C-alpha cells in the first residue's frame, strides 16, 4: 500500500471515530506505515506529500477533534504535508462537505 501512496498526487485518510480515536483498521495501517517511514528510504515518495485527514464521529461528535489530533500526529511523523484535518459530525456534515470540496478543488489544480 505504501507504493500506491508514493505514486499518488495527494492522499486522503478518512476514518470513523471510535472512542475519540482512529478505527482499528486505520490505526493498524498507520502503525505499519509509521514503521516504514522511520527509515530514510521508507519516507521516499511520502515525505512532503499533501494529505488530508477526515474523522467522522457519530453521536454528539465530541470525539472528532481528539481523533484528528491523533491522525495529524501520525501523518506528521510519517512526513506528510498535512493540508487539512477535518473533524466531522452529523451536526456539521453539510459545512464540512463544502470544505472538502474546496480543498479537493485546490489540490486538483
Q: Please, what is the angle between helix 64-78 and helix 24-36, to 10°?
A: 20
Whole-number Å distance between alpha carbons of 37 and 69: 19
β-strands 81-89, 11-16: how paired? unpaired
Q: Which residues contact 70 (CB under 8 A, 6 or more apart)?
A: 21, 22
Which CATH architecture describes the domain 2-108? 3-Layer(aba) Sandwich (3.40)
Dihedral angle sign, alpha carbons of residues 38, 44, 45, 48: positive
Output the nine-digit C-alpha cell for 103: 480543498
**Tens of pLDDT, residue by residue, the chain (109 residues):** 788 999 999 999 999 999 999 999 999 999 999 999 988 888 999 999 999 999 999 988 899 999 999 999 999 999 999 999 999 998 899 999 999 899 888 888 8
Overall pTM surpassing 0.85 (yes/no): yes
Amino acid at each position: 500500500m505504501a507504493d500506491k501512496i508514493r505514486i499518488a498526487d495527494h492522499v486522503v485518510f478518512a476514518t470513523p471515530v471510535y472512542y475519540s480515536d482512529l478505527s482499528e483498521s486505520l490505526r493498524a495501517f498507520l502503525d505499519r506505515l509509521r514503521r516504514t517511514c522511520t527509515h530514510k528510504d521508507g519516507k521516499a515518495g511520502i515525505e512532503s506529500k499533501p494529505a488530508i485527514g477526515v474523522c467522522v464521529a457519530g453521536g454528539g461528535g465530541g470525539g472528532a477533534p481528539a481523533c484528528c489530533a491523533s491522525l495529524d500526529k501520525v501523518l506528521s511523523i510519517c512526513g506528510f504535508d498535512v493540508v487539512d484535518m477535518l473533524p466531522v459530525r452529523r451536526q456539521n456534515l453539510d459545512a464540512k462537505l463544502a470544505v472538502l470540496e474546496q480543498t479537493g478543488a485546490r489540490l486538483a489544480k
